[in-house]
Amino acid sequence: MNIQLLRGNILVGRSDSETLQFTLNGKNMLIKTHGLIISIIDFTLSTINTGDSILYLDLSSDPDLFKGPKGDKQSETYRRMKEVTEDCWEGSCPKTNVLWLIYLVDILLMKKSFERTTKHERDLRSLKKRLDKYDSAKEAVLDPFFTDLFIESDPKA
């Protein structure tokens, strides 16, 4: 498999598999891959509830993280995260996942080597506008942009 770093901690690779199975809310889902497999390889910003405690990275301890250049997509994303979390990093804030989806759309729109038609670009820009209204990535994947990707769900789950 030819693996390419899309940006930061996201790997994109080609796959012969036409579908990929995953579980969402205990429901088995099948999604079209269009010949691509995407993997997140760093969960540093994740919050984990072990049942006994909440493990998280307190981003307020690194104020330089929020001082990146104005207009830089990653720096702007960190600043928006700080705003929506009110600089409290311990709790769950699903909206931050949506902010990273917006970031990914921006990267896809900026990346010159990413082949796309004018329609694809229009669709991505439209998705970016709609993403801002979602409060979680779970809500975002139900956006019409993704409808054609889902093949079936397990009705028993």
SS3 labels along 28-73 = EEEEECCCEEEEECCCCCCCEECCCCEECCCHHHCHHHHCCCCCCH
Q: Which range has the worst mean pLDDT, 42-46, 60-64, 69-73, 137-141?
A: 42-46
- Is 76 in a helix, a strand, or coil? helix
Q: At residue 114, does pLDDT exceed 80?
A: no
12, containing H or E segment: strand 10-14
pLDDT in tens, 133-152: 999 998 998 899 988 888 76
Q: Characterize 18-38 residue by residue with b for buried, 16 or more Cβ atoms within 10 angstroms of its Cβ, and e for exposed.
A: eebeeeeeeeebebeeeeeee
For residues 67-85, average pLDDT: 94
Boundaries of domain holding 133 = 3-153
For residue 42, the domain's CATH number is: 1.10.510.10
Number of structural domains the chain divides into: 1
Asked if residues 98 and 104 have their Cβ atoms less than 8 Å apart, the reply is: no
